[in-house]
Every structure is written in C-alpha cells, then in structure tokens.
Amino acid sequence: MKATVVGAGNVGATTAEYLLREGLADVYMVDVVEGLAAGKALDMAQAAPVLGHSCRVSGGTEYGPAEGSDLVIITAGIARKPGMSREDLLKINGGIMAQVAQNLWHACPNAVVIVVSNPLDVTTHIFHETSGFPTHRVMGMAGVLDTARFRTFIAREVGGSAEDVSAMVLGGHGDSMVPLASQASISGVPLTHFLDDDTIARLVQRTRDGGAEIVGLLKTGSAFYAPAASTVQMASAILRDEKRLLPVCAHVNGQYDLRNLFLGVPARLGRRGVEEVVPVELTADELYALHESAKHVRSAIETWNALKGTL
C-alpha cells in the first residue's frame, strides 16, 4: 500500500512515522518548504533498520510522486496563533486546502482522503467542494481524537485504564462537539455508576477544551502525538479494510435528520473509505446538541463562501 502525507510539520511527520512503524504503507511526504519533507523522510528511512520495518519513505515539494496513492492524509496549514480570529485561520487554511485539493485530484484521484487541517469540518467541506473526489472517499479526523481525550479524562478521574473506557464524541471539532455521556462506560458498566452528573459535565467540558489546554501549556505549539495516532487508527481501518466503526467527520445526507454536510458521526471505515454512516441512539439532549453543532459548521461554511471570493 502507498500513503501520501501532505504537510511535514509536527502532525504530518509524526503521522508518517506512525504509519511506517505500523507497517501500513510506503509513505511519500510533500511540503512547500524546500528540503523539509525530504530531510525528515531521510531521517525516518535511516531509523527503519533500528525499528525493524521495511516500508519505504521519501519526501519532496512536488505532487507527482503521490501518483498511485491508496490513501492521502492532509495536515497542511498553520495552527491558530494568539490574536488570530477563526476567520483569519479559515481564510489561510481554506486557501491552502483548495490548492491541495486540485493538486491531489491530478496526482491520485483514486485515493481515500483524510483531512486533519483545522478548522476541520470546514476544510473537509472545502476539499470535497474543490476536488473531484466522491463523498465516501473524503473524511476528516477529529472524532477519534476528541474521543481519545474523553476516554483519557474519564480514566484519570476514576483511576482506571483508558483502554477499558468506551466512549464516543460526535459533532463539529470545536466548542460545539458532543461527547456522548449516555454511551460512555467502563468495561460495560455505565459511566454514571462511577461518576456523578457534575463530574461528568466537567469532563465533557474539558474534552471540548482539550486542544486549547495543550496550546496553553505549550505556549508556542499545539498537539501532535494524539492527532497523529488518531489519524493512523483511521488509516489502519482503511488500508487493512478493517470495517471499524469510528467517529469521523463524514458526509451525512439524511442520517440524524441532517443533510448535505460533513460532520462528526459514527462511520464504518474500509478500503472504499466511509462505507456506512451508522445511526446510534441519542438522547433528546444529545440529538439537539448535534443539530446545534451542525448549525455552527454551516455558519463556518457560509463564512468561507464569503471569504473565498477575496482570495
């Protein structure tokens, strides 16, 4: 199998390294910064004999070597900086995503695409809108990451293992995300057996603030280990045709009474990409919150539609 990673910054390079370590695919990294992708790829190649894998890795500034990719992971763009509005970030990263989409359509039109760049739900929409890729082969990575954060916070609160925690986070990747407290459990035992409502509400809010908490600690950067690991879990499901049910930013058209929108929902992933959006039972409050999250995403798309004419 072959994967292309667009963007060789912290998230992109760590994603490439995890793909190689898992033996999932040969990897090509592409980045506009001269020498960045090539240099990191050479470093990774030299680590392969020590780590014990035989996957090949290369890097460059051109999209031509992405030809024949089974999977493309897009991490290109900038992180939000202090004083930067969401509109500023959208204008920059939306423009980058539109260019990337056109390049990938020419280089590897048969690939499955995972978008990681923020603002996630809108950039996924922009990629699909700008490229010729069908909806089932375009998705965004956010739900797996947000779910991992929710599981981590629950495990730390109860003093247990995050592996025993089952949970899911839906909706947009941001303040309006919807951690499903009603679905959360520890080894099959409902979360409410371990924690009271106020504690659960605090963990839900910490999950929503998960990325910002790390930015606040780092001061000059943002998360990349967990985003990369979450992306590779999706990549494994696709490249190995595992049919895993994961929360991803997928196209909904009727499910949950939502239409023509990319939003975080449970989806079964396999070699074809999003093979099915799976309905799960939500409480009335959760369904309402999911629709409110969808409104936030639509509003951001409207902002993009107004901005793109100025690029």
Domain region containing 168: 143-305
Domain boundary among 117, 140, 163: 140
On the 0-12 / 13-18 / 19+ scale of CB atoms within 10 A, 10 is: middle
pLDDT at 80 over 90: no
Rg (alpha carbons) of the chain, rounded to whole number: 19
pLDDT digits 0-9 by tens, 37-53 = 999 999 999 999 999 99
311 located within any domain: no
19 and 118 inside one domain: yes
**Cβ(169)–Cβ(179) below 8 Å:** yes
CATH number at residue 262: 3.90.110.10
Residue 66: per-residue pLDDT? 98
Q: Which of 140, 175, 194 is the last residue of a domain?
A: 140
Question: Are residue 135 and residue 7 in the same domain, yes or no?
Answer: yes
* Positions of E strands within 24-164: 26-30, 57-60, 71-74, 112-115, 138-140
User: Catalytic residues, which ones?
Assistant: 173
State phi, psi for 270 to the nearest 5 degrees.
Answer: -155, -165
Each residue of 127-178: pLDDT tens digit? 999 999 999 999 999 999 999 999 999 999 999 999 999 999 999 998 899 9
* Together in a domain, 73 and 153: no
List pLDDT tens digits, range 197-222: 999 999 999 999 999 899 889 988 88
- Of the three residues 92, 125, 140, the one that is the final residue of a domain is 140
Copy the structure tokens of residue 55. Answer: 């996957």
Same domain for 157 and 98: no
